[in-house]
Amino acid sequence: MLDIFNSVIDSSHTTKWRQAANEILENSGHYLTQPDLERFIAAEISDAEAESAIIKRKAFIERAAQLLPSLLFFFGINDEENLRSTLLKIDDCCHDFPIILDSPHEKKEKRQIKENLDKAKIHANSLLNLLNDLRGHLDFEFDQHLKAILETRDMIRHSDIENYYMFRHTLSLIPVIIDISMFKDENYEGYIYRIGKKLSTHVVECAYRISLWTGHPRLVTTPGADFSVVCSLLYELASGEHDVSLAGAINKFARSPLRKQLDADNQETRRENSDEGIRAREADNFASTRERILNLRKEENLWEELISSKRWNEFELGQLNTRLLHTLEKIRHAYLEYGPHLVWGHQISQSDLQTWWDKRQENDARLLELKIIQGKARRQRNSD
């Protein structure tokens, strides 16, 4: 079972990372997931933390051996493509479960985010006022220091622009950016990501996403129905708790805006991937450009709504108009684009694909080498 999950979640280069982890701590390379592998090799997590993760992963694999056959039966998995996609979704769901378990309740989390955003605006404005008062004392040294850093790193040439001014200007954007983010979150649900302690909803959503992909089981709110059984099994796989009823969460999800959005997305995906959809897209080389323009028009409407949402001061209004102008410029450039475009993988030459692949392999090998060096240095410091 461990090999099955690893074969699904691993990329082509993960074998080398697993070998490197096993040389540090026995079994760590077999059981740690890719993010934990990288952190462990670089000594960003301790041996004790790695061992704790291994114990949890072993328990998950043991539960999967018992529960996964039934889950795959109810989802109607009968081919390798659906199997891989389903296992990835199940693994992601179970991986995120303890994170959601440790998170605050949604209302509390939302309140905390709002309070922190308000504090950030206050502190940014306060710091900006102090920097304005101190500009005659700090600006020269700030410019010289930044120039030394940039030239030493050979990143960019030093320009004639006053860096201290640019830093203060950048800081002044933070309150505006916060206002933009809050407006988007209030008017476009889910813009600011929140975890929220919604364990049952998390499991039901995962089960529904898989059922949309495979076609089984159909979502019904009847207790004891196949969808209810699937949710209970998935909850047990993620948590280790037996026979948990998710009837309330299923009923709530069935009526939720999220379910409607998932249905709409699934319908659009199926249309695009159908023979008719593929033929239409291949026949229209500018289909992706038209789609991008449509999304940019929605973005244009967003900036117009935001600008008219309240009275802004001159600086804020200037920044918002800049965003609107930037969007309009992207629309103008999209209309002026010429083709043909490389849209499909088969339009890219084999030599270009091979060059890209070789470079990716080279970069990954170098990254692993650096992580090993970093980990050795950290472990040496900790032992001294």
Q: What is the pLDDT of residues 171-201, one digit of tens each?
A: 888 898 889 888 988 887 655 655 556 889 9
- pLDDT score, position 342: 55
Q: Pick the more confident residue, 354 or 18.
A: 18
Cα 22 to Cα 74: distance, rounded to the nearest angstrom:
36
Residue (of 211, 246, 253) closest to 228 by Cα position = 246
Q: In the Cβ-directed half-sphere of 348, how many Cα atoms lie within 13 Å? A: 11
Which one, of 231, 180, 163, 240, lies nearest residue 202 by Cα?
Answer: 231
pLDDT reading at 277 higher than 90: no
Residue 214's contacts (CB-CB under 8 Å, 6 or more residues apart) are 75, 76, 77, 82, 86
Mean pLDDT throughout 337-347?
60
Percent of the chain with pLDDT over 90: 43
Is 217 within 8 Å of 101 (Cβ atoms)?
no
Q: Crossing angle of helices 275-283/257-273, nearest 10°?
A: 70
Give the Cα separation of 18 and 67 in Å (integer): 26
Tens digits of residue pLDDT in 8-54:
888 878 899 999 999 999 989 999 988 899 999 999 999 999 999 99
The set of long-range contacts for 21-27, using a CB threshold of 8 Å and a minimum separation of 24, is 24/375, 25/50, 25/51, 27/54
Do the Cβ atoms of 147 and 107 come closer than 8 Å?
Answer: no
Residue indicated by tokens 């032992």: 383
Annotate 162-192 with b (16+ C-beta within 10 A) or e (fewer): ebbeebbeeebebbbebbbebbebeeeeeee
Question: What was the pLDDT predicted at 189?
Answer: 60
Residue 134 pLDDT greater than 90, yes or no: no
Contact 14, 34 (CB under 8 A): yes
Question: Tokens 């319908």 appear where?
Answer: 267
Alpha-carbon gap, residue 157 to 205, rounded angstroms: 51
What is the SS3 assignment for 162? coil
Identify the band that residue 149 occupies on the pLDDT scale cut at 50, 70 and 90: low
Instruction: Give Cβ neighbours of residue 251 (< 8 Å, ≥ 6 apart).
Output: 221
**Residue 28 three-state SS:** helix
> What is the end-to-end Cα distance of the chain in Å, rounded?
40
Q: Give the model's confidence band at 340: pLDDT under 50 very low, under 70 low, under 90 confident, else very high.
A: low
Q: What is the DSSP letter of 104?
A: P
For residue 48 the two structure tokens come to 């004790």
* Cis check: omega of the bond before 98, within 30 degrees of 0: no
More confident residue, 127 or 134: 127
pLDDT at 102: 82
Cα–Cα distance measured from residue 220 to residue 205, given in angstroms and rounded to the nearest whole number: 13
pTM metric for this prediction: 0.69
Tokens of 365: 């090998």
Structure tokens at 301: 């409407």
Token reading at 53:
């993760």
For residues 96 and 330, what is the distance between their CA atoms, to the nearest angstrom? 37
Q: Which stretches does DSSP call E strand in 31-175?
A: none
Asked whether 221 and 231 are in contact (CB, 8 A), the reply is no
**Peptide bond just before 35 cis, omega within 30 deg:** no
Q: 89, 244 in Cβ contact below 8 A?
A: no
Query: Hey, is 175 helix, strand or coil?
Result: helix
| CA–CA distance, 382 with 384 (Å, rounded to integer) | 6
